[in-house]
Structure 1
Amino acid sequence: MQNLQYIMLTCFLCMFSCKEQPKNETVEMQQTLESISPITDAVLESAVIYEANIRQYSAEGSFNAFTRDIPKLKDLGVKIIWLMPIFPISEVKRKAYGDLMVEDIEDPKEREKYLGSYYAVSDFRKINPEFGSIEDFRRLLDTAHEHDIYVILDWVPNHTGWDHTWITEHPDFYTKNAKGEITDPLKEDGTSVGWEDVADLDYSNKEMRQAMIADMMYWVKEEGVDGFRCDMAGMVPTDFWADAIPRLRAEKDIFMLAEADKPELTRDNMFEMAYGWEAHHLLNAIAKGEKNAKHFNEYMQNSAEKWVGGGFLMNFLTNHDENSWAGTVKERMGDASEAMLALTYCMPGMPLIYSGQEYDLDHRLKFFEKDSIPKKKGEVWPLLEKLGQLKNESPALAGAKAPASYEKIETPREENIIAFRRKNENSELIYLCNTGPDKVEFTLSLTGKYKDYMSGTEVDLQGNNTYQLGAWDYRILLKM
């Protein structure tokens, strides 16, 4: 951490401005330098992360519309905003829908409505004019920092769009086929991944690696972003991250999220957090009745072994991919939705909110064209507000590099009931959940006085008393 250098620089500039500047200018200088402290491990322990889909967040789809709502996100416990790619989108081979490209559509008016994939970047150092200007982006960043919220950019290191300047200026930066032609990303067997709208980067090219690091450094050094969520991080060689991330951190303390489920990416000063894909798919399967509480307990045991000495996981019910392609939370989880959401906050890791989730989003957002989320608070907002407060304030939910302990609680209904306890310092939390559509009775060999966090009522556990949970019912108990 570079806190000492930061404090010394701030003190020096403040002393200088006190001598040379009018009083009001001194205050302005201090506010600029001290808008937000560098991100720390302690922040990550209690953080909620929010994925912002700028295009679909509002009717106008702009930075400014999102910026106006940043203070509201703080009410949900959000400490980190992840912005989906904010860069210009390639026009060459721009995706419309399915396998159809925009250039294949004859009607010019019809072509206009297809905006392409955020992940087909044409320039890593510019702003997508669809969202606004660089000044608008800076205003967003400043507003987030004023509310003690960090901002990370969605970075796309595996490929570029087909009209990126590197295509013509540095064709050697890209993967080639037997004919010497630049290709889209390929599987190990040489067949296409299915992303025909992007060109695959060749990481055996050392010059390309340096150019990629330089572009990332620009956003850290010149614009002051707080880190990156790296798209398809596991498709990029690990040794690239081992080189790039420490160099970025030498400039500023940043937070790194890998879209991957690989523990090796979270070691040796690389990514702090990875995707909890396995847990996500498991919770979907539990909600559908395909798996049960026993499988969750097995996952938690295996996960503890898999990630020992590594990083921590992002827990989520939905994100931009899941919502658009796999279905809404209600489609996939139905009556289990609330219990599974609460579980993502109570299990170790960091919970994610995706744009619209807080407003009960119940339709699949279009991916390549304009759409919009609802903006009326319903059932989910107050739930997220309450869970966010718990995550922010309870040491028992520390979930990052110094997580609270996790202990499975034995019940005679192992296949039906998820039951665990988390402890940290003098804080203790118990999560109980019935993972099925029928009422369940069970005993708990626990004693003590607790508060039901969601209802506020007192609960007196007395050894082997019988307890009941209705269909998909859950309890969050705090030790009194």
Structure 2
Amino acid sequence: MMKIKKNLMWLLILALAAWSCNSQNSKNGSSETADSTVVALPVSNVRHPDWSKNANIYEVNLRQYTSQGTITAFAEHLPRLKEMGVDILWMMPVQPIGEKNRKGTLGSYYSVRDYKAINPEFGAMEDFKTMVRQAHELGMKVIIDWVANHTAWDHAWVTAYPEFYDIDSTGSMYAPFGWEDVVQLDYVNDALRDAMIGEMKFWIEEADIDGYRCDVAGMVPTDFWDRARRELDEIKPVFMLAEAEKTELLIDAFDMDYGWHFHQLSNLIARGDTSATVIAAYFDNLAGTFPQGAYKMNFTTNHDENSWNGTVHERYGEGFKTFAVLMATVPGMPLVYSGQEAGLDKRLEFFEKDPINWKNYPLKDFYKTLLDLKHSNQALWNGDFGGKYVPVKTDNEAVVAFTRTKNDHSVLVILNISAQPHDVTLQGDAYAGDYNDVFGNKKITMRDNHQLRLEAWEYRVYDANAGGL
């Protein structure tokens, strides 16, 4: 997927420019055309699990999490993660990895040889069930990565059910996008659909997991996912995350998709390839196109970004914490990747053993502050449970400021998106009021046309939570 995303990078800049122009035209009253038909905003029919409304998500790279690389060793971290504020554990694939055409020594997590088993590298099924039970006892949920688009070449289906697989013009099975360690499935086959849903039901019934993160979800037919969601929900209410940014997936199948465009936009801003002013244009466009009620996942890194495109230090420089604050406070659910609380400063190997150096978790308090605020302030909750992004105008393009409000809860976020200090005036009075400085741990009153000075990459998050929870 990463090559595809890179090719779209500059198209994103052009799209954002168009969004900005359209947004401005609309505000100036110049968006009228001969056809004044109003396009209805799509609506998600998905019933989100109640526990997801103010949840955050944490991606677990099991192989690199500990020196042992086992489920049991990872489980020792559960109390620490709970204390940090983690709600949903997204486990990268836990199944056995194919040996045919394997990449590297240990292979890719995403080359699945058996959907119903545990990779012996990680332990046994009982270890996994125990870990899920322990997570549940701590109030956390567990979802696992699901690779429905392709299997390993030595998956039993390749020989037992060759009709499950797509073929090329020569009549041969093939690897999608040149991913030579996997073979493409063919969802024209109804028996494949039945079998795949059966495999997904297994983990909910057998291990009591709480849902799935679905790899390259946009490459699998939407009607398959719609059916899968219906049948999985009959067992228990599940949470479904799509590795895609495709509206139709969010109507009946998935709770949440990836904020890929916003992530790529943040990288462009950090590099100086575009201005931070496009952030407001992005959310203005999203408000008019994103399915009502659906969730968007925001992130500065994940397993793909870290291993293939660089660490947050490489991509965001000294501003990596500033962008983490942005991702945790704009509309959507924030993702924390394994090792971010340790200041992960290396690209983790993908096909080899490469344990994280935890270094006594130097950023755990930083992430705990953000995740705890997510829980307590309704303005930051997910989807329609939270508040909308409302930009605050400033006299400095390097400074991004916005508010979000829900019921009697609100936040004011001010970010210097530059490597230089700046003086700035927040224009107007819509944000004025009394707040708690979340990171400064002090009270502050913001007045009309408030002036302040921000150091390079400085971030301020002000919390007004009148009602409490």
- Indicate the residue corresponding to 1:28 in structure 2: none
Structure 1 residue runs of 4 or more that deviate by more than 3 Å after TM superposition? 39-42
- Relative to structure 1, is the Cα distance of residues 401 and 254 closer, same or farther in structure 2, using a 3 angstrom cutoff? farther
Which of 112, 117, 133 aligns to 2:124? It is: 133
**Pairs within 5 Å for 1:136-155:** 136-155=127-146
- Indicate the residue corresponding to 1:432 in structure 2: 414
Aligned residue pairs total 416
Q: TM-score, normalised by structure 2?
A: 0.86
- Indicate the residue corresponding to 1:420 in structure 2: 402
Which of 156, 162, 177 aligns to 2:147? It is: 156
The alpha-carbon deviation at position 399 of structure 1 amounts to: 1.9
1:201 lines up with 2:195 in the alignment: no
Structure 2 residue identity aligned to 1:450: Y
Structure 2 residue identity aligned to 1:422: R
Structure 1 residue identity aligned to 2:132: L
2:435, 2:294 → 1: CA distance? 31
Which of 157, 164, 173 aligns to 2:164? It is: 173
Q: Is the 8 A contact 1:316 1:352 kept in 2?
A: yes
Secondary structure of 1:418's aligned partner: strand
The alpha-carbon deviation at position 43 of structure 1 amounts to: 2.0
- Indicate the residue corresponding to 1:225 in structure 2: 209
1:76, 1:392 → 2: CA distance? 12
2:147, 2:417 → 1: CA distance? 37
The alpha-carbon deviation at position 291 of structure 1 amounts to: 1.9
Which of 255, 271, 280 aligns to 1:297? It is: 280
Q: Which protein has the larger Cα radius of gyration, Structure 1 or Structure 2? A: 1
Secondary structure of 2:273's aligned partner: coil
- Indicate the residue corresponding to 1:282 in structure 2: 265
1:401, 1:54 → 2: CA distance? 33
- Indicate the residue corresponding to 1:330 in structure 2: 313
* Superimposed CA distance per residue, residues 213-268 of structure 1 (whole angstroms, 9 cap, x where no aligned partner): 00001111222110000000000011111111111111110000000011211112
Which of 332, 345, 359 aligns to 2:328? It is: 345
- Indicate the residue corresponding to 1:93 in structure 2: 101
Secondary structure of 2:371's aligned partner: helix
Q: Is the 8 A contact 1:408 1:420 kept in 2?
A: yes
- Indicate the residue corresponding to 2:243 in structure 1: 259
Q: Is the 8 A contact 1:227 1:254 kept in 2?
A: yes
* Superimposed CA distance per residue, residues 437-475 of structure 1 (whole angstroms, 9 cap, x where no aligned partner): 222222222332222110012222221242111211111
- Indicate the residue corresponding to 1:212 in structure 2: 196
Secondary structure of 2:350's aligned partner: coil
* Superimposed CA distance per residue, residues 413-444 of structure 1 (whole angstroms, 9 cap, x where no aligned partner): 2x222111111121111001111122222222
Q: Is the 8 A contact 1:276 1:316 kept in 2?
A: yes
1:43, 1:408 → 2: CA distance? 29
* Superimposed CA distance per residue, residues 166-191 of structure 1 (whole angstroms, 9 cap, x where no aligned partner): 00000111011222211111xxxxxx
1:375 lines up with 2:358 in the alignment: yes
* Superimposed CA distance per residue, residues 297-339 of structure 1 (whole angstroms, 9 cap, x where no aligned partner): 1111111112132511111111000000000010110111111
1:374, 1:400 → 2: CA distance? 35
- Indicate the residue corresponding to 1:72 in structure 2: 80
Q: Is the 8 A contact 2:79 2:138 kept in 1?
A: yes
- Relative to structure 1, is the Cα distance of residues 272 and 323 closer, same or farther in structure 2, using a 3 angstrom cutoff? same
1:448 lines up with 2:433 in the alignment: yes
Structure 1 residue identity aligned to 2:422: V
Q: Is the 8 A contact 2:239 2:254 kept in 1?
A: yes
2:162, 2:49 → 1: CA distance? 40
1:337, 1:406 → 2: CA distance? 21
Structure 2 residue identity aligned to 1:145: H
Q: Is the 8 A contact 2:402 2:414 kept in 1?
A: yes
The alpha-carbon deviation at position 44 of structure 1 amounts to: 1.5
1:459, 1:262 → 2: CA distance? 41
Query: Larger deviation: 418-427 or 438-447?
Result: 438-447
1:368, 1:293 → 2: CA distance? 36
- Indicate the residue corresponding to 1:240 in structure 2: 224
1:461 lines up with 2:446 in the alignment: yes
Question: What's the RMSD between the two structures over aligned residues?
Answer: 1.4
Query: Larger deviation: 45-54 or 398-407?
Result: 398-407
Q: TM-score, normalised by structure 1?
A: 0.85
Q: Is the 8 A contact 1:226 1:253 kept in 2?
A: yes
| Structure 2 segments unaligned to the other structure (5+ residues) | 1-46
1:42, 1:210 → 2: CA distance? 29
1:334, 1:369 → 2: CA distance? 26
2:186, 2:293 → 1: CA distance? 28
2:141, 2:455 → 1: CA distance? 39
